[in-house]
Amino acid sequence: GFYSLMALGGSATWEGNTALARDAFRRAITLRPDDVDAWLGRYEASDRDSGDADDRYAAQRYLSLKPQGYPHTYRVSHIEAAVR
């Protein structure tokens, strides 16, 4: 389910397995397309220097959901700067 995919994505990101993390978060997003944590996870599993269109879309989609509270208030300003 959704939470299993989120846990898998988080663990894979922590371990540096970005391919598995991206896949897990992508699958979680299909289950809950408006979940800000899933979009944040998908973005954080990206190679931010690659210029990959999917990575950029993940950042833009996350920001479009107007996330509030911790950790989002901290992340939003950093992601906004990164996608400029």
Which pLDDT does position 55 carry in this prediction? Answer: 86
- The Cα–Cα gap between 52 and 72 comes to 22
pTM higher than 0.85 for the full model? yes
- The Cα–Cα gap between 42 and 57 comes to 10
Contact (CB, 8 A) for 42 and 25? yes
Cα torsion 76, 78, 81, 84: sign? negative
Which pLDDT does position 50 carry in this prediction? Answer: 66
Contact (CB, 8 A) for 2 and 31? yes
Query: Taking 80 as the threshold, does the pLDDT of residue 47 lie above it?
Result: no
Which pLDDT does position 66 carry in this prediction? Answer: 94
Percent of the chain clearing pLDDT 70 (strictly above)? 95
